Amino acid sequence: MTSSKKFSFVQEGDQERLQLSFGLMALIWIVGFAGHFTPLREWPALTLYVIGSLSLVLFQGVKRNGWKSMYMAGGHYKKSLLWGGGAGALLFFMALFNTHNHYENGGAAMDGMEALLRKDFLLYLFPVLVLAEELFWRGIMASSLAAYNVNRHIIVLVTTLCFALNHFAVAPVAMEERLLMAIMALPLGIAGGYITLGTKNVWGSVVVHMSAMISMFIGMQMNT
């Protein structure tokens, strides 16, 4: 079977979405690496990450009418929110316990992250960051891979690893903190990935991610 026949079911929008998602990821990583050696550090990459992800979502959604194909409309949204609420509650308490345990056992404080959170405008922008992340990794990228009939376990693996590694390119904090953030991203990516693919709806994954972030903020405040 030729490649053209094998993927004859793939629509033009799916192919475009796949190319744009991996292209944007590569550009973010390049900008992040270059910026690390300048006074600007990772801020340009982080800005590109958020604005680029949301712009790509709007382009695919409005111009290509791709809301459903990106799992942002339709699917089993009620089941997605139900699963997301359950997984989010579990990860909320796990993250709260792990954060508290980390500090109680003499773990290094996440000074860089805490300094960012002291800036009110950045704290208020974190929901926007969460939304951009979920719509990009679990929405755009995961759905484009699924359109090629890639095994769902491989999709979760690829998107989760890329999501975790992305923290090294866009987080303007010390490398030790980036590693901690990358580790924390793994359960988020796994839970969110399976919820999204199982329901063809991304909003449950947004709930999971938001719950974990709120828990991390609370944990930091409790241990300052």
DSSP secondary structure string for all residues of 137-154: IIIIIHHHHHHTT--HHH
Contact, 91 vs 210, CB < 8 A? Answer: no
Residues with Cβ within 8 Å of 63's Cβ and at least 6 positions away in sequence, in order, are: none
Provide the 3-class DSSP secondary structure of residue 94: helix
Task: Please report how many Cα atoms fall inside a 13 Å half-sphere around the Cα of residue 36, on the Cβ side.
Answer: 13
pLDDT of 144-165, one tens digit each?
999 999 999 999 999 999 999 9
pTM of the model: 0.89
Q: Answer whether residue 212 is part of any domain.
A: yes
- Is residue 2 in some structural domain? no
195's CB contacts (< 8 A; 6+ apart) are 80, 83, 84, 87, 204, 205, 208
pLDDT tens-digit readout, 91-143: 888 877 776 676 676 665 566 776 766 665 667 788 999 999 999 999 999 99
Query: 194 lies in which domain range?
Result: 11-222
The answer to whether position 6 is within a domain reads no
Number of domains in the chain: 1
In a domain, 139, yes or no: yes
Q: Which residues contact 163 (CB under 8 A, 6 or more apart)?
A: 133, 137, 185, 188, 189
Q: CA 223, CA 50: separation in Å to the nearest integer?
A: 29
From 138, 180, 143, 194, select the one nearest 162 (Cα to Cα): 138
Is the distance from CB of 194 to CB of 71 less than 8 angstroms? no
Residue 50 lies in a domain: yes
Q: Grade residue 87 by pLDDT with cuts at 50, 70 and 90.
A: very high
Q: Please report, to the nearest 10 degrees, the dihedral formed by the alpha carbons of residues 122, 167, 81, 148 taken in order.
A: 140
Integer-rounded Cα Rg, in Å, for the chain is 18
| 140 assigned to some structural domain | yes
- Classify residue 3: in a domain, yes or no: no
Residue 77 predicted with pLDDT over 60:
yes
Is 1 within the bounds of a domain?
no
